[in-house]
């Protein structure tokens, strides 16, 4: 291979690496869901559906805003094995649910009164909240 061809190959791979690195720095709203997620039955979704991802970063979003009076169902999906968020606990609602990997778990949230419900993993980490306002 001529030297010039090798040089331009090196340049191209350097550019590709650089753009890949730049791509990593973008703030992504939520980690991508795995392709083969076990979906929740449509009958379990009451009112508006809000998706929450449980990953190594914790819960995304971790500040869920709901409208007072609007029935809402949170649908949790754990996307990573590398997280202790394998359960969700909403103490005020006495709800504790396991989050199997890549399996949607629906939790209906009472929206009758303006209130903040804190939720976290089974050990009380990744503190997050649902605000009905």
Q: How far is the CB of 27 from Cu ion (least distance, A)?
A: 23
Counting every residue written for the chain, the total comes to 133
Q: How far is the CB of 106 from Cu ion (least distance, A)?
A: 21
Q: How far is the CB of 93 from Cu ion (least distance, A)?
A: 19
Q: What is the DSSP letter of 39?
A: P
Show the tokens assigned to 86: 């394998």
Name which of residues 66 to 85 contact Cu ion (CB under 5 A).
Answer: 84
Burial class (CB in 10 A: 0-12, 13-18, 19+), 115: middle
Which residue has the closest beta carbon to Cu ion?
84
Candidates 52, 121, 130, 132; binder of Cu ion (CB under 5 A) is 121
């Amino acid at each position: 291979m001529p030297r010039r061809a090798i040089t331009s190959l090196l340049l191209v791979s350097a550019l590709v690496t650089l753009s890949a690195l730049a791509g990593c720095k973008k703030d992504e709203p939520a980690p991508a869901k795995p392709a083969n997620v076990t979906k929740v039955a449509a009958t379990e979704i009451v009112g508006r559906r809000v998706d929450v991802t449980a990953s190594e970063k914790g819960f995304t979003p971790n500040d869920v805003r709901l409208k007072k009076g609007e029935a809402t169902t949170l649908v949790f999906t754990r996307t990573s094995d590398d997280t202790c968020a394998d359960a969700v606990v909403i103490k005020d609602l006495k709800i504790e649910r396991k989050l199997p990997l890549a399996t949607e778990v629906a939790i209906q949230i009472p929206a009758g009164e303006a209130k903040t419900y804190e939720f976290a993993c089974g050990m009380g980490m990744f503190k997050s909240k649902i605000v009905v306002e």
